[in-house]
Each structure stands twice: as C-alpha cells, then as structure tokens.
Amino acid sequence: MKAATLEFLKQRFSEYYQGDRLLSPPSVPQREWAYVLFDPAYPEIRMRRHLGFGSREEVFSYIRNMAPAHAYYSSAYYANPGAPTMHEKGWLGADLIFDLDADHLMRGPYDRMLSRVKEETVKLLSMLTGELGFSEREMEVVFSGGRGYHIHVRDIAVRNWGSAERREVIDYVCGIGLDPTLIFSRKAPSPRGWHQRYIDALSEYLLWLEGRSEKDQVAHLTSLEGVGKASAEEFLRRIPDILSHLSRDPGKINVKDALVSRILRALSEEKEGEFSSRLRARAALADEPVTTDIKRLIRLPSSLHGGSGFRVTPLAIRELPDFDPLVDAVVFSDREMKVDCSAAIQMSLLGSVYKLEKGVSRVPEALAVFLCCRGMAEIAGGGGHAAG
C-alpha cells in the first residue's frame, strides 16, 4: 500500500472515530482488547493485544487517538485482562459466539456472497430461538463489516460453558454427527429440528436416485464405503417402500435391518456427496472453531473493518431481513475521489453499480475507501474518468 493511500485511510478512519458513534460491550474492565493499526507495514497484520481498560471512556479515548484499522475485544471475561499471558489473565467465563462467513459458503460477486450469508444467519437465529431455547433478549446480531455476521449470546447460563458444551451446540446447528438409527428409532419424530430435516433430505435424495438410470444408481451406491453391488441392488428395490414410510410414518423404517442401517450410515458419514449436500443445505453453517473457542477475540460493534471501511454494525434481530450492508454499513460520503485501480472492477454500493476500468477513475469516497482497504486500488492524483 502506497504512503498516500495509507494516509488517506488513516484520515478517513480518524474522522469517523471523532464522532459519537462508538459502542462498548458489557463488563469492559473484564475484557481483553486488541488492535491492528495503520502502520507502514499495513495491511500486514501486527496485532497489539493483551490490553485492558478500566472503563468504556478509556476504550473510546484509545480508539479516537489511534484510529485503528481493526478493533477487537475478547468474548471471554478475565480477572486480569491486561496480563501478558493467557494463563495469568484468570478466565471467568465467555459469551457464546457464532461466526458466519460467506467465504465458507460460496465464491462469487461480493453482493451475492453477502446475500447468501445473510440467509444462513437467519437460519441460525431460527434454530437458536426456535429449537435451542435462547432468548432474543440475550442475543446480538452484528454485521462483521467484511463478509459475514456474528451472533453474540450473553445469557449468563452459558457463560461458564467449556469448549465441550459449546461443541455440542455448534454440532447441532451444523448437523454434525447425526445418527440415522436414533432418528428413526422414535415412533413419532419431531415435526421440526433435525429429525424432520434428515427425513426431508433423505426423501429428496432417494427421489433424485430414482430418477437416474439403473446403471448410475448402482454405481452411485457402490461408491459408498462398505456397499457392494448386491446390497446396492437390494436397497434400490426397497426405495419405493422407504419413500412411502418417510412420507407417512418414518418410525416404520426398520433401522435394525442390516442393509438399511449400513447404507443409511454410509450416506450419513460421507463428507461430500449427493445426500450430504442436501443435509448440509439444511444446516446453519457457522464457523466451528469460533464457537468452541472460549478465549476468542471478536470485532467491536460500531468499529470500522480495515478490510472494507464498512461499519461493524449491530442489529436487532427484527432488522436483519431488511438490512443491506452495501448501504446500511457504509459510513463515508459520496464526494468524488480519484483512485488508480489495479484491474477492471464491478462493484455495487449505495444502490448503484460501478464499472471501473483498470487505471484512474473518479468514484465516491465510500467506494474509494473500500477499494483501497481491499488492496484493489490506490489513491490517485491528476485526471480520470467518472464511472457509474
């Protein structure tokens, strides 16, 4: 990043932080704080961490003075958050955190990735409130400022959970470790939750399998671990009966039958495949290591994301469906700036689509910040052509 670009970003971030826009999490004195600054090596990450502050005013003063590129605080509560080692901090508990990142879901244009990850966030919130019993009052949804969303659960009942308990929650929402024997052993499976999701995914998969040629059906099933040609052919003959039971009375599926049990288990254990992809589509694909980590650093809501210039935006759950990060998380103006793009770029922002050629263009300040933060452009002088 050129010196002029770095200075431009430092000035814009500093200008933002001088306003009365900052928020803080509860229990500030028990949190560890960390920052990445706009130093000459930026965007190389050189984190300053193991910082402790006695009050929100001290936190705000530090941010306004330093204007960091990235600001974080710990999901954990500590007795001595400013201690230089994790052992010395004295862990007292931690919020339950979920992180949904579009990079883990798809690749494509930025606006499509943001739309896709929002769908996953809505799905996760539905599971947390409708199936796991978490209260909306104890949760905060936050647009990360980059490619996803964070969900903070601050219910006192989960604060002392260790990694094992948090692992159970993330396994549930991600649909990890589902056992078909347990699912079909219940006479009346639940009409919601993973019982029904598994049944729906299996029905969809079997209908897909029926639509293929007999040769392809056998080849597909024999590709599963432990399934031979004779077993595949016998299972194919049973599919109409299995589908009938799935639609009317799933409890009648005989999971004690060695053939059925073996194939269902092979399908469930397959990491990539037709059935697993259908099951995965019904999961809420949060980042597992984030949730199980009891000492995680998380972005500060109301701070700016140094990789985009967007606001790390806290939301009420009811606001999420109408939230558009390419409008609602943008904090910089539409005054014109000149940037030198390293390649041709197409980008949606503030309700407009910008098509930029390689070289110098005039763009709104908000887009200039985004492109410079992303390393896609540098601040330029001289002439240029408008793009829109």
Give the domain CATH number at 364. 3.40.5
User: What local confidence, expressed as pLDDT, does residue 154 receive?
Assistant: 93
Same domain assignment for residues 257 and 342: no
In the set 95, 287, 293, 340, the catalytic residue is: 287
- CATH code where residue 22 lies: 3.90.920.10
Same domain assignment for residues 134 and 8: yes
| Start-to-end C-alpha separation, the chain | 25
Q: Whole-prediction pTM value?
A: 0.89
Residue 388 pLDDT exceeds 60? no
Same domain assignment for residues 97 and 168: yes
Mean pLDDT (whole number) for 226-235: 92
- Mean pLDDT of all residues in the chain? 91
Containing domain of residue 272, as a range? Answer: 180-281
pLDDT digits (tens, 9 = 90+) for 109-160: 899 999 999 999 999 999 999 999 999 999 999 999 999 999 999 999 999 9
Query: Cα dihedral angle (368, 371, 372, 374), rounded to 10 degrees?
Result: 160
pLDDT digits (tens, 9 = 90+) for 40-96: 888 887 899 999 999 999 999 999 999 999 999 999 999 999 999 999 999 999 999
Same domain assignment for residues 74 and 40: yes
Same domain assignment for residues 231 and 276: yes
Same domain assignment for residues 237 and 110: no
Active site residue 99: yes
Residue 304 pLDDT exceeds 60? yes
Cα three-residue angle 20-26-30, rounded to 5 degrees: 115
User: Which pLDDT band, with edges at 50, 70 and 90, does 386 fall under?
Assistant: very low
User: What local confidence, expressed as pLDDT, does residue 369 receive?
Assistant: 97
Q: Kindly calculate the radius of gyration of the chain based on its CA atoms and give it in whole angstroms.
A: 25
Same domain assignment for residues 78 and 186: no
In the set 95, 99, 293, 340, the catalytic residue is: 99
Contact between 311 and 366 under an 8 Å Cβ cutoff? The reply is no
Token pair of 293 as six digits: 């980590």
Active site residue 179: no
What total number of domains does the chain contain?
3
Same domain assignment for residues 222 and 307: no
Same domain assignment for residues 88 and 124: yes
pLDDT digits (tens, 9 = 90+) for 305-364: 999 999 999 999 999 999 999 999 999 998 999 999 999 999 999 989 999 999 999 999
Residue 167 pLDDT exceeds 50? yes
Active site residue 200: no
pLDDT digits (tens, 9 = 90+) for 20-40: 889 999 999 999 999 999 988
In the set 39, 95, 101, 324, the catalytic residue is: 101
Same domain assignment for residues 152 and 111: yes
